[in-house]
């Protein structure tokens, strides 16, 4: 009977151990994303190459840049859950949502993929 209790405790400890890194990873992505990022690679309809993406700790996003000689700026919100990121922008009465997968996120690089394509950002100095 003691052996069964020890085995059960061991299983619970192992499960908790495996879930902790996943929770830490979620928190890390949310913290690492905050800041100003330069757009170095983009796709058609994505943020303008050479533009800037600013992410605040309170879930706001601002994208600025120039495309075809026209300056552009978009404000919206974002939410990160693990390696998933959802952006929401409002244009007039229409709200647009973009689902992204975070491929890489560290102190220098932020790479994402959506159904439209890939975007790569580098942290501004």
Q: Can you tell me the distance from the alpha carbon of 96 to that of 76, in angstroms, rounded to the nearest whole number? A: 9
Q: What is the pTM of this model?
A: 0.77
Please report the domains of the chain, with CATH numbers, ordered by start residue.
2-123 (2.40.128.280)
pLDDT of residue 125: 75
Q: Inform me whether the pLDDT recorded for 124 exceeds 60.
A: yes
Per residue in 65-115, pLDDT (tens digit) is 998 889 999 999 999 999 999 999 988 899 999 999 999 999 999 999 999
pLDDT of residue 5: 38
Per residue in 35-57, pLDDT (tens digit) is 999 999 999 988 999 999 999 99
Question: Which residues, other chains included, contact 38 with Cβ-Cβ below 8 Å and sequence gap of 6+?
Answer: 50, 51, 52, 121, 122, 123, 124
Q: Inform me whether the pLDDT recorded for 14 exceeds 60.
A: no
- Does residue 121 contact residue 37 with C-beta atoms inside 8 Å? yes
């Amino acid at each position: 009977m003691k052996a069964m209790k020890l085995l059960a405790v061991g299983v619970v400890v192992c499960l908790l151990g495996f879930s902790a890194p996943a929770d830490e990873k979620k928190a890390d992505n949310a913290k690492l994303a905050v800041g100003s990022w330069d757009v170095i690679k983009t796709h058609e309809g994505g943020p303008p190459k050479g533009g800037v993406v600013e992410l605040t700790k309170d879930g706001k996003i601002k994208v600025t840049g120039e495309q075809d000689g026209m300056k552009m700026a978009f404000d919206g919100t974002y939410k990160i859950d693990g390696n998933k990121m959802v952006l929401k922008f409002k244009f007039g009465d229409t709200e647009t949502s973009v689902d992204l997968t975070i491929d890489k996120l560290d102190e220098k690089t932020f790479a994402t993929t959506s159904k439209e394509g890939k975007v790569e950002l580098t942290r501004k100095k």
